[in-house]
Amino acid sequence: MTKLFGTDGIRGEAGVFPLDAQTVEIIGGSLAIHLRNKLGRAPVIVVGRDTRESGEWIEKALARGITQTGAQSTSAGIITTPGVAFLARTIPADAGVVISASHNPYKDNGIKVFAPSGRKLDEDTERLIEQDVLAQEAQPSHGLDSSNTAPVTNDQADSLRERYLDFLAGKIGHDLSLRDVRLIVDCANGASFNVAARLFERLGASVTSINDTPDGRNINLGSGSLHMESLQDAVRQQKADLGVAFDGDADRSLFVDSGGHLVNGDATLWVLGKYLKSKGQLHHDTVVATVMSNIGLEIAFKSEGIELIRTDVGDKYVLEELLRSGATLGGEQSGHIIFPRLSLAGDGMITTLCLLRAMMEENRTLLELTAGFKNFPQILVNVEVAVKKPFAEIQEIQNAADNIEAELGTRGRLLLRYSGTESLARVMLEGERQDEIEKHADELATVIRKTLGS
């Protein structure tokens, strides 16, 4: 069976299967039907979207599918992904649906579903929806009461967005004064454009907002967390205390310190991990990250008595490990940070507030707080392969990998894996010297080409 849901929901080009209007309507109806089967009643589903030009018609198609089953579709309009997760928990609704392709270009879009807990939709329900889509079986139910599908007003969406803003400022930002803080916010022309500056201004900051005029096609275009250069320039020119860049749906954030230096997700975890430990709030003195986090983070944490647990790539796996281990902080190098005691969804604005709190309470700049973390050199080599055999079954590859790991010791790292979508083996190496890891990467890539190449 064709798999539509990836680790971050359904994603693809807007207007092309499975994100054509007919299929989206089927997805909406199928989700509503399977929720009703679980609940024994018609569900309430809250829907939000980012600023892509395709978002509005995709939301309408989804709402048609939902309401034709007798369920209720509540629109939050343009709002961040974590904003929808928050609303699903507090309206309360039975699910939250985000229409967004995150950091992708405007031509792409996606559908991501949250349970009221803030966790993503369970895989069993995803498989049921896939079956309905591929069999074209999720047709509108006739004779069901749809009187609860009154048209959505802008006032309603504005009210829901204000509820989320009140949560961020009132609960997460409680007692946090940003008076005299000069902050530059890059909204990526995305979903944070109508809330980010207002949030930080409410807490007293002096805010300059850039890339905050979405036109449906400029989301993530030369802006936001994928393109930090303009934010770095703005921080230097305006002598700001901090710059923050969100991606299109604002579930992640990257930072620029007062010196104009990029602070990625690893460096953010370093600052927040130390801060939470100093407050006695870092459970088990453990932080969760992925296999892509730099070995420099692991070495730095070890010097502070903090253990780093690694998971597969994806915030879904970070969250699973956070809940399994009881850890209170986790995230990815990309800036997707999760505080499970605050929200099970990564939230770029929550991350920013927590980082600002650390700066204010310790009375130190972000440049000072990131001291002690060294990003080790890294190289990634892709090797075309004819077949994806387990590396451990090929003695030449295993021997070469073992020799490299022995030479790197505890001051380096080798990660060898296959691409999930292409016929590629990925060789990732980290170490103290660039020339050393380049030599090792070339050696291993040569062995892989010889044994697995076409």
Q: Which residues does the annotation mark as catalytic?
A: 102
Question: H/E element holding 23?
Answer: helix 21-39
For residue 113, give the 3-state DSSP assignment.
strand
C-alpha to C-alpha distance for 225 and 169, rounded to whole angstroms: 23
From the CB of residue 204, how many other CB atoms can be counted at a distance below 10 Å? 14
Report d(CA 54, CA 105) in Å as an integer. Answer: 12
N-terminal to C-terminal alpha carbon distance within the chain? 28
Between CA 350 and CA 327 the distance in angstroms is 17
Q: Residue 311 — φ and ψ, nearest 5°?
A: -125, 175
- CB contact burial 297-335 (16+ within 10 A = b; e otherwise): bbbbbeeeebebbbbebebebbbbbbbeeebbbbbbbbb
Axis crossing angle, helix 123-135 with helix 21-39, rounded to the nearest 10: 130
Q: Which residue, 349, 325, 351, is CA-closest to 339?
A: 351
Residue 13 structure tokens = 């080009």
How many alpha carbons lie under 13 Å from residue 374 in its C-beta half-sphere? 11
Helical spans, DSSP H, in 91-172: 123-135, 154-167
Residue type, 273: G
Question: Residue 8, SS3?
Answer: coil
